[in-house]
Amino acid sequence: MGSRSKRRAARNKRQCHAGPAPSPTFDPHAQVMADTWEALTSLIATFADHDDPATAVDAAFGKAVDKLVAKLQRFDPIRLIEVARQRFLPMAFGDEIPVTAEAGTAYVELLALVALAARRETAEATAPAVEHQQMSHFVSEVKQQLDELLHLAQLRSLAAVDPTDKLALMSLLIRGAEVWVRNASYPEMVATTNLALLDGNPSVRAALNTQLGFDTTDALAVLDTVHHLQQDGLNTRLQAMDAAVQEAMKATKEGRPDDRLTALAGASFMSLFEPGADRAAVTLDAVAAHTGITVERARAVVERFRLDHVKAAAAEVVDAFTTGKNPMRTRPLIVDGHGRLMLPHPALHVFAVRENFEEHLKTSKPVWNQYAKHRGDLLEARTRDALSRVLPGARFRTPSSTTYPRTTHKPRPPIRRSTPSASRATTSSSSTTSPSSWRTRPSP
């Protein structure tokens, strides 16, 4: 008993010296939101003393865009996007589900759009050579610049809105969701719905094959394969680096250091994080071979979903992106000058298939009407199935199957009104619409 009491006393003494127990860690997602609001309010405060805050915000926005373009215009867009993918996208080994509050697909998209626009503005011949780790160093520091750019764009939108217009403020909230939010639904379920919607109706599927040269199954297969091949390329580079480093370390430990092996290990390390464009992107032939789809059919998918590199200035690209006009929403695939393919991330292309196809189907009214009817029938069927699981044994009626009883009573005759004179109509109108006439007079 004595030893137990001594241990308890010693434990209590240690707890007293250690102080109170630490408070639970703040939710990381809530922390990101709090930090964002703090940064935004601090940015607003910097423009409070200006005579014309809106003009000052516009000037700051232009300077921020020019500063970003000046830093990244020397980088190859494909290589830069691959470095940004590793920096901003959630990744994990095996079947693990990556969960992080710091990941941001919006950063990858904005960086890709600005890099493509900046590369068009600067000739490749005049771009200076890029040394090792320059892109990684740039991407590691660019998040703060991108946040500032997005916040300035948000302030520009706020300054242009009438604060008394509630609909305009709601529009700003929706616009903010377009900028930041991806995957409002599970992509696997959306893919299943897309197949049921677009390939589930034979007439619609036949129209897509005839007019576009492919259907929904082909589109999803090609876009999914581009993503998977990019991931396979990253894993291949990782395994090559591990093998090269292990071999160099083994030779050094055995007392036979080899400069060739050491150089190979260093090159494989750099290739992992800053690969060449040919290793970061994939080819059309590789996609066709992996999917079993013909090259012509795969090329038709690529042409339909490739990003249209409109010759716009970087400031215009940023302005369009921050106002919810993100071209990657319907065309998420990037194709470089050599025909190499890249998906900045896999969070858009499943949703892009439906939006892109619906945009095309609207050009043919008969096909669109068939698709709209099929979509309504599918919605009713899925709603009925969902309710039947919640309300087993219930009977459901759709609007098309519901019959309404015919009335048996005679209709009431229409009310006949005499046309009063103008003076009487004025007096009658004033007496019937006066608020005082609505009150019941007290009895004498």
Tokens at 78, concatenated: 């494909």
Q: What is the pLDDT of residue 348?
A: 86
Q: What is the helix (H) or strand (E) element at residue 342, kind and residue range? A: strand 341-342
Is residue 327 in a domain? yes
Residue 403 lies in a domain: no
Please name which of 309, 319, 313, 275 lies closest in space to residue 81, comparing C-alpha atoms.
Answer: 275
Report the sign of the C-alpha dihedral through residues 276, 242, 234, 92, in that order: negative
Q: Are 121 and 313 in contact (CB under 8 A)?
A: yes
Q: Mark the ranges of the chain whose per-residue pLDDT is less than 50.
A: 1, 23-24, 124-125, 418-444
Residue among 347, 311, 315 nearest 329 (CA): 347
Please name the residues in contact with 34: beta carbons below 8 A apart, sequence gap of 6 or more. Answer: none
- What span, in angstroms and rounded, lies between the C-alpha atoms of 195 and 215? 9
Helices and strands per DSSP (H, E), number in the chain: 18, 2
Total number of domains in the chain: 1
**Percentage, residues of the chain above pLDDT 70:** 79
3-state secondary structure of 274: coil
Predicted pLDDT of residue 422: 42
Q: Residue type for 331, please? A: R
Cα 313 from Cα 122, distance rounded (Å): 11
In a domain, 126, yes or no: yes
Q: Has residue 440 been placed in a domain? A: no
Q: What are the start-end ranges of the H helices in 216-340? A: 216-253, 259-273, 277-280, 284-291, 295-305, 314-322
Three-class SS of residue 444? coil
pLDDT at 400: 58
Which DSSP category does 63 fall into?
Answer: H
Residue with tokens 């990941």: 103
Report the C-alpha gap between 230 and 248 in whole angstroms: 27
What pLDDT does 408 receive?
57
The answer to whether residue 413 sits within a structural domain is no
Residue 195 neighbours by CB under 8 Å, 6+ apart: 216, 217, 220
82's tokens: 């691959």
How far, in Å, CA of 364 to CA of 204, rounded? 11
Any idea how long the chain is?
444
Count of CB atoms situated within 10 Å of the CB of 378: 15
**Assigned token pair, 400:** 């098309």
Containing structural domain, residue 39: 29-388
Pairing of strands 341-342, 334-335: antiparallel
Specify if 399 maps to a domain.
no
Q: Residue 241 domain-assigned?
A: yes
CA distance 8 to 375: 69
How confident is the model at residue 118, as a pLDDT? 85
Beta-carbon contacts of 6 under 8 Å, excluding residues fewer than 6 positions away, are none
Mapping DSSP to helix (H, G, I), strand (E, B) and coil, where does residue 335 land? strand
Spatial distance between the Cα atoms of 251 and 268, rounded to a whole number of angstroms: 17
Please tell me the predicted confidence (pLDDT) of residue 138.
92
Cα separation, 413 vs 418, in Å, equals 16
- pLDDT at position 155: 85
Is the CB of residue 82 less than 8 Å from the CB of residue 272? Answer: no
Task: In whole angstroms, give the CA distance from residue 143 to residue 139.
Answer: 7
How confident is the model at residue 414, as a pLDDT? Answer: 59
Contacts of 209 (CB under 8 A, 6+ apart): 215
C-alpha angle 194-196-197 in degrees, rounded to nearest 5 = 65
- The pLDDT of residue 404: 52
Q: Please name the helix (run of DSSP H) or strand (run of DSSP E) that holds residue 341, with its range, or none.
A: strand 341-342
Task: Give the largest Cα separation in the chain, rounded.
Answer: 121
- DSSP-derived 3-state class of residue 334: strand
For residue 23, being part of any structural domain is answered with: no
